[in-house]
Amino acid sequence: MARLGIDLGGTKIEAAIVEDDGAIHVRQRIPTPPGYQAKLEAIAALVQSVESRRGVHGLPAGLAHPGSHNPRTGLMRNANSTALNGQALDRDVSAALGREVRCANDANCFALSEARDGAGAGAHSVFGVILGTGVGGGLVIGGELITGAHGNAGEWGHTALPWPEAGEIPGPPCFCGLNGCVETWCSGPALAADHRRVTGQTLTADAIAAAASAGDEPARATLDRHAARLGRALASVVNIVDPEVIVLGGGLSNLTGLPERLETALAPWTFTDEPLTRIVRNTHGDSSGVRGAAWLWPA
């Protein structure tokens, strides 16, 4: 059974038809328009285009989106695309497409995609990590996406950085209203901010990585601090969830040697004599959003 996956991002909307074997033969991306109603109309037009190219209509559809639905009200909250907040996104997209649409947070869809047939395939428990503009996560156990009572399972980016060192308290302010969240230390902008605080240099995360590769010692030190903090943060996930595999996604997942450095960095903080959790890069990259959305409809 073919399925339709839709990934609603802040800058682009992607739709793809995912076959039973995971193959994608038809996909299309468009810029994300501003405004809530414009987003709904763009999704409907994109789906019509993709299904027409495949010669099908009414496929089971899944949607990956930022933020989460309040399970009591059904309304969106915590989305960095603020036009979505307070809206009944699942119901409105279903109405726009004329069919049931299953929705999940984009990090959850990433985790589901990588657990299904990506870097976490074959593992019973997979924690998917998004390291980009923000920090998010998703948890899949036994092939099932775990969403939790509030729909926020996996939101480790808004837990406090564990075992803080001197200079890490109270930590940078977070948009959630607290200080010192993992996101404020481990996201791409947070890495750049840390480098600026220490060196006075304003560089992007990519530029810092390039400078480190060229032998720049301050840049290397910034990456070392980032890996150490990320290792502590992931150790708390291991201590609570104990996943077999942690799959890294987002732009920072491409940092050279990051999986290996993190396995070393988290080991001293895990409550075990022999850390066995594997940390790996993703297989499907930025295709995991649409793939995971499609897999919201199981075989």
Give the model confidence (pLDDT) of 24-53 as tens digits: 989 999 999 999 999 999 999 999 999 999
Q: How confident is the model at residue 80 (pLDDT cuts 50, 70, 90)?
A: confident
Question: Given a cut of 90, is residue 2 above it in pLDDT?
Answer: yes
Q: Is 260 exposed, middle or buried (0-12, 13-18, 19+ CB in 10 A)?
A: exposed
pLDDT tens digits for 122-169? 999 999 999 998 999 999 999 999 999 988 899 999 999 999 999 999
Predicted local distance difference test score (pLDDT) of residue 233: 98
What is the model's pLDDT at position 239? 97
Q: Identify the pLDDT of residue 10.
A: 86
What does DSSP assign to residue 85?
A: T
Average pLDDT in the chain: 95
Domains and CATH numbers, the chain: 3-109+287-294 (3.30.420.40), 122-282 (3.30.420.40)
Q: What integer is the mean pLDDT of 245-256?
A: 95
Indicate if the pLDDT at residue 299 is higher than 80: no
Q: Looking at residue 1, what is its pLDDT?
A: 82
Q: Is 260 helix (H, G, I), strand (E, B) or coil?
A: helix
Cα separation of 84 and 77, whole Å? 8
Nearest to 245 by CA among 151, 155, 156, 138: 138
Q: Binning pLDDT at 50, 70 and 90, where does residue 218 land?
A: very high
In the chain, % of residues over pLDDT 90: 93
